[in-house]
Structure 1
Amino acid sequence: MATYQSNFVEFGDELKPMSLSSECLNSDDLSLCILGVAESEVPIDVDKILVPLKTDLLRVNTGFHSIVVRKNGKQWWKLVKVRFEDHVVIPTFPHGLSPESYSQYFDDYLSKIALDKLPETRPLWELHVIKYPTPTAAGTLVFKMHHALGDGFSIMGAIFSVLKRADNPSLPLTFPSVSTRSEEKRNNICKSGLSLISRFFNTVFDIASSMVHTAWFGDSRSAVRSGTHLVERLPMETTRITFSLDDIRQVKSKLGASVNDVVCGMIFYGVHLYTKMVEKNPKNSSKTALVLLNTRMLSGYQSLEEMLKNDMWGNHFAFMHIPLPSYSDGQKVDLKRFIFKARKIIKRNRNSMAVYLNGILLSLMGNFKGSEAVSKYVHSIMANASFSISNLVGPMEKMAIAEHPISSIYFTVSGAPQSLIFPVISYMGKLTIVISGEKGFIDSQLLASCMNEAFKKIVEETLK
């Protein structure tokens, strides 16, 4: 068993400064949590699964055994001794119900804990053990971890360090490569002069358009954006749909795109279909998606050990603004345009320094105005967009924890000032898209149906 951080430390009054990115995600204006869900194929034996959790999870990073201390207008980490049992929650549901009924109880419970604030008197994480069967699981584990601990790449990496390969726990998990740009890199070397010029103009354009959209404009209210004040404090309803990763890769190869391009395009088209069905008098209003970009300079997914070795733990992400293609009534819809639109802007952002310069600008803002100002700015970026997409790569092999095989994994984010978010993750050759929508405003089941229809049409039209 690999040891990432020693769990035997001396505890005193020493404080470690929290990074600016973590501070701005743990404020009165913006407080985000990541909820990772793992579905077990067998009933959960609590005593059995807590053994590897106690030994593995706390070793990942010191943040898992640190509390937040607020001092002199800043936030600090302070190491404490962790009482593991204080972080484990086992809810009680009525006995003797059907799996379908327990599924509704689970959905309501997930919505509830997503809104609950993690107390800062103890480390910012919890494990919820749901021992009741649903149609898709004999039992469910929910890891709730504050975004101040790290981004989805870090948090899900920590969870993957606890879950081992089901076929052979001594072997490492393997992840599909997300490095699909080798040909472009070779071309860039041959056209280095043009590349530098292109990068300069892309950088200027991306920074300007991002600031203008955030400061002066914002998406209008629509079928996917209620515009409700403090929407982040309202209950969310979560559903999910699963697709074949092989089908998506075939579309990717046919169009010369990436998996991320295809997924974004599919979501854009699904939102288009949903808007047409929900809005009685659909307006040709602009909709902008925020696509999260992992800024770690890594080729593909790296193991947790490599992430820690390269000092890549924490929050290392940026936002890309992608306007959705719009069509007026009666205008023919080009399905591929949704994918190409995503591909064009994602490719341009990869060929731009805007992501890194924005990080520098935020650091300067934090130095001069404090983390609260940065938090307000990030809040406005999210609130002024229609929805966000966050895409993570999961392992190719089946995982297990203490002889509990995991049939499915997915995640969502709570506290985002948006009516709709799309967390995406792959696992065992399948790609799961989670739909977390404002309860009572987003019809999650209808939107899921539109996503399925979008996937079906894109595959049919591309591969015919």
Structure 2
Amino acid sequence: MDRKEKDVPVTPAGRLFLRQEMNTIIHCAIAGKHPLNIPAITSAVETSIIMHHPRFTSLLVTDRHGHEHWRKTHLNLDSHIIIKHDVIQVNDHEKAVNDYIADLSVSSPLDTAKPLWEMHLLMAHNCVVFRIHHALGDGVSLMSMLLSCCRKSNDPEMLPEIKNAAAVRRDSNLLRLVVKLMKVMFFTVVYVMELMMRSLWVKDKRTAVTGGAGVELWPRCLVTAKFRLDDMKIVKNVVANATINDVLFGVISSGLSKYLGIQSPEAPKEGTRLTGLAMINMRSEKGLQDVSDFKMNNKGTQWGNKFGTLLLPVYYHRNDSDPLQYVKRAKVMIDRKKLSLEGYFSYKVGYFVMSYLGSKLAGWLNYRICSNTTFTISNVIGPGEEVTIAGNPVEYIRVNTSSLPHAITIHMVSYAGRADLQILVAKDIIPDPQFLAKCFEDALLEMKEAALATIQPDKVS
């Protein structure tokens, strides 16, 4: 067979992430509770589907027309496992790992002479850092792949399980269906028009956390805000029909308001909008899949980058006597976004532009959207129970991406009753990211206290 016949064209979304202005690498830190065992980790990878997956065993090549393809190659595992024995801030392992990833976020592209992924073993800090180019897949695909290297703590032979999102309840009442259809049409038109304007000229007002074109090249700092899922559920349960995502956006809105109100030289006007850029899963099965069944050609669970883009605004409020109002406002906004076809439109239009108008235009439009908004945010569901990697119990799973024009990128992953928020900032714009993380943590605690007061007013002082 001719060699060219083996080459597989890179998908339109994959080509977007390969553009110089959007070159994106996903970093996933998996920390063990015990020292890393290099032979055991190597064996775990060798027996995982990584060794057989087409994207993880292919080189990125470019033909004479400038079109990118995947070319099957022999995978030399030794070139992908990078062992780091040096000690960085050994008295604070979490800070050491965050600092290491922050440096990678702006200074270390992946080597195109081999498949676009690596595993860095930080021996002094018991942590494995996966580096995977976004062209290989999105968060749902890659989390499923990473968990194929893990096992349940209480059953070492079983792969981790991820619960899918609950099924959407369908309404059979004709009048309500008509009203819902009208809302879908209205919100779709409004949000699609806004998305188009954001890609051209409309931008957030400048604040102390605003980034912009070129900021992706600035030095970064990475910090972690830690939440208990039970605390988020307490807040969720007192706001009618709320979700964890509603609570998360309430926390982001409250936390940014706290930070700007205290740290900003000139506080924004009340109600100032700060727009988040979020990616939503466009697969028919919304949750992560059973990793053993996650194949490239499964209908509805296809491998790759299958996401749409949403603009999710939060608003600055100087003093809000009821912390739960942040969640209630977030819920109204997110419910409207769910009704619209904004995500579907952005997915289809992005595919069309990449396929027929070229990656240069698509890259420019996406870069403009990032430059005209304030932050990136994502939320990925992780295992609900403890897992092991190469027999080592996992302490935490955390994810972030390499730098974007935003001064703040926020990624949350839940794991075993916890939710860790990775906050990557341009440190010349936000020199005190630890305080920003504390603002987010304090925001949830205030919401929890308000929620408990609502449930048990006589037991809360």
Match of 1:99 in 2: 90
Distance 1:401 1:101 in 2: 22
Per the TM alignment, residue 98 of structure 1 is displaced from its structure 2 partner at its CA by 6.9
Q: What does residue range 70-109 of structure 1 map to in structure 2 within 5 Å?
A: 70-71=62-63, 72-94=65-87, 99-100=90-91, 104-109=95-100
Structure 1 pair 104–332 and aligned structure 2 pair: CA distance change class (3 A):
closer
Q: Deviations along 1:10-66, whole A, 9 cap, x unmatched?
A: 994421011111110111121011101000111111112101112214246310011
Per the TM alignment, residue 371 of structure 1 is displaced from its structure 2 partner at its CA by 1.4
**Secondary structure, in 3 states, of the residue corresponding to 2:171?**
helix
**Secondary structure, in 3 states, of the residue corresponding to 2:124?**
coil
Instruction: Select 1:431's aligned residue among 419, 422, 425.
Output: 419
Structure 1 pair 11–408 and aligned structure 2 pair: CA distance change class (3 A):
farther
After superposing on structure 2, the runs of 4+ consecutive aligned residues of structure 1 that deviate more than 6 Å are 187-190
Match of 1:48 in 2: 40
**Secondary structure, in 3 states, of the residue corresponding to 1:421?**
strand
Distance 1:98 1:383 in 2: 34
Instruction: Select 2:134's aligned residue among 120, 144, 147.
Output: 147
Asked if structure 1 preserves the Cα contact closer than 8 Å seen for 2:57 and 2:73, the reply is: yes
Match of 2:178 in 1: 193
Per the TM alignment, residue 386 of structure 1 is displaced from its structure 2 partner at its CA by 0.7
Instruction: Select 1:217's aligned residue among 184, 188, 202.
Output: 202
1:324 aligns with 2:317: no
Match of 2:371 in 1: 383
**Scaled by the length of structure 2, what TM-score is found?**
0.90
**More deviation in 315-324 or 145-154?**
315-324
Q: What does residue range 50-449 of structure 1 map to in structure 2 within 5 Å?
A: 50-59=42-51, 61-71=53-63, 72-94=65-87, 99-100=90-91, 104-115=95-106, 116-133=108-125, 139-179=126-166, 181-182=168-169, 185-186=170-171, 191-227=176-212, 229-256=213-240, 257-284=242-269, 285-308=272-295, 309-310=298-299, 311-327=301-317, 332-442=320-430, 443-449=432-438
Per the TM alignment, residue 291 of structure 1 is displaced from its structure 2 partner at its CA by 2.5
**More deviation in 25-34 or 229-238?**
229-238
Distance 2:277 2:379 in 1: 12
Q: Deviations along 1:156-211, whole A, 9 cap, x unmatched?
A: 111111111121122342334432743xx337776222222211111111100111
Per the TM alignment, residue 242 of structure 1 is displaced from its structure 2 partner at its CA by 1.8
**Secondary structure, in 3 states, of the residue corresponding to 2:377?**
strand
Contiguous gaps of at least 5 residues in structure 1: 1-9, 134-138
Residue identity matched to 1:216:
W
Distance 2:215 2:209 in 1: 12
Residue identity matched to 1:444:
P
**Secondary structure, in 3 states, of the residue corresponding to 2:383?**
coil
**More deviation in 396-405 or 122-131?**
396-405
Q: Deviations along 1:366-403, whole A, 9 cap, x unmatched?
A: 23320121111112112211111100000012111221
Distance 1:226 1:324 in 2: 16
Asked if structure 2 preserves the Cα contact closer than 8 Å seen for 1:289 and 1:385, the reply is: yes
Aligned length: 443
**More deviation in 343-352 or 405-414?**
343-352
**Secondary structure, in 3 states, of the residue corresponding to 1:64?**
coil
Per the TM alignment, residue 142 of structure 1 is displaced from its structure 2 partner at its CA by 0.2
Asked if structure 1 preserves the Cα contact closer than 8 Å seen for 2:309 and 2:346, the reply is: no
Q: Deviations along 1:257-297, whole A, 9 cap, x unmatched?
A: 00111111111110110011111221224311123222212
Distance 1:205 1:439 in 2: 35
Structure 1 pair 45–180 and aligned structure 2 pair: CA distance change class (3 A):
same
Q: Deviations along 1:296-316, whole A, 9 cap, x unmatched?
A: 121533223444222521111
Structure 1 pair 237–282 and aligned structure 2 pair: CA distance change class (3 A):
same
**Secondary structure, in 3 states, of the residue corresponding to 2:395?**
strand
Per the TM alignment, residue 234 of structure 1 is displaced from its structure 2 partner at its CA by 2.1
Asked if structure 1 preserves the Cα contact closer than 8 Å seen for 2:198 and 2:368, the reply is: no
Asked if structure 1 preserves the Cα contact closer than 8 Å seen for 2:102 and 2:424, the reply is: no
Taking only the aligned residue pairs, the percentage that are identical comes to 25
Distance 1:170 1:76 in 2: 36
Residue identity matched to 1:38:
I
Distance 1:187 1:347 in 2: 19
Distance 1:188 1:120 in 2: 55
Match of 2:22 in 1: 30
Distance 1:171 1:289 in 2: 37
**Secondary structure, in 3 states, of the residue corresponding to 2:234?**
helix
**More deviation in 105-114 or 309-318?**
105-114
